[in-house]
Amino acid sequence: MLSDNEILEESRESFELQIEDNEILDFQKIFANDNPVRIEIGSGRGEFLIKTAMNQPEINFIGVDLKEKRVKTLYRKLYAEKIGNVRIAKIFINEENINFLPQNSIDRIYLQHPDPWPKKRHYHRRIIQHSFIDIMHKLLAKDGIVDIATDHEDYAMWIVEHFNTRIDFSSIYKKGFTREAEAGHVETYFEKKKREEGFEPYFMKYRSK
Ligand SMILES: C[S@@+](CC[C@H](N)C(=O)[O-])C[C@H]1O[C@@H](n2cnc3c(N)ncnc32)[C@H](O)[C@@H]1O
């Protein structure tokens, strides 16, 4: 029987996506197929990534998180479930640090409960900024989707207001958001925790034009 460390090393070998400086990923090489590729930024404990990938084996998924502990949890869970269509990168995503994705190549970008940075002086740290939306637009393939959930009302309105002024994205939802989870919605660890505290999520989906 493999030890915990051996399992970690074996799962790292199978699922780790190592990204060299200035590298642009070759998805055909990584996944050995031409299936669409989706990325989740901030996968956390991986509930969303893993269930979504298991439900859609015809799609390739890249999960990223900046924390080593979270990434190790993801390797272990993927290994236990024997999932072939996911790779994990430990990386801090920002405007300078996302160029490893080829332009016009991504089918969907998921942000499930991104850090809301509630204090005004920290708003500049929110991942949703016009400059980041510009980058997402470049990375998405035609009709690609940005799929966001947040329980934080102020951040939800920030996101809606940002996308409202864009001519390169259209909202799937009339008001810019919905409070109704779609059929088959996968609840994340964070979403469950926040619901228990009385904070219901806002769901937003924007299609790239
Ligand atoms: C609030 S938690 C949400 C986790 C998970 N999506 C959920 O809903 O349970 C935010 C996660 O995003 C990760 N994260 C925050 N900023 C990030 C960034 N710029 N790049 C990559 N990961 C990030 C954090 O380490 C954390 O795991």
Identity of the residue numbered 20: E
Instruction: Give the pLDDT confidence score for residue 2 in this predicted structure.
Output: 86
Task: Name which residue sits closest to atom 1 of ligand 1, judged by CA.
Answer: 115
For residue 201 and ligand 1, the question of a CB distance below 6 A is answered with: no
Task: Please state the atom number of ligand 1 nearest to the C-alpha of residue 189.
Answer: 9
What is the per-residue pLDDT across 92-149, written as a single tens digit (0 to 9) for each?
999 999 999 999 999 999 999 999 999 999 999 999 999 999 999 999 999 999 999 9
Taking the centre of ligand 1 as the mean of its atom positions, its distance from the CA of residue 121, in whole angstroms, is 20
Instruction: Give the pLDDT confidence score for residue 179 in this predicted structure.
Output: 97
How far is it, in rounded angstroms, from Cα 10 to Cα 116? 35
The domain limits of the chain are 4-16+31-208
pTM above 0.95, yes or no: yes
Report the CATH superfamily, name and number, of domain 4-16+31-208: Vaccinia Virus protein VP39 (3.40.50.150)
Residue 102: CB atoms within 10 A of its CB come to: 15
For residue 70 and ligand 1, the question of a CB distance below 6 A is answered with: yes
* Contact in structure between 131 and 166 (CB atoms under 8 Å): no
Instruction: Give the pLDDT confidence score for residue 148 in this predicted structure.
Output: 98
Residue 174: CB atoms within 10 A of its CB come to: 7
What is the per-residue pLDDT across 151-207, written as a single tens digit (0 to 9) for each?
999 999 999 999 999 999 999 999 999 999 999 999 999 999 999 999 999 999 999
Which of 19, 39, 41, 69 to mutate for ligand 1's pocket (most ligand atoms within 8 Å of CB)? 41
Active site (catalytic) residues: 115
pLDDT at residue 37 tops 90: yes
Q: At what angle do helices 68-81 and 47-55 cross, to 10 degrees?
A: 30
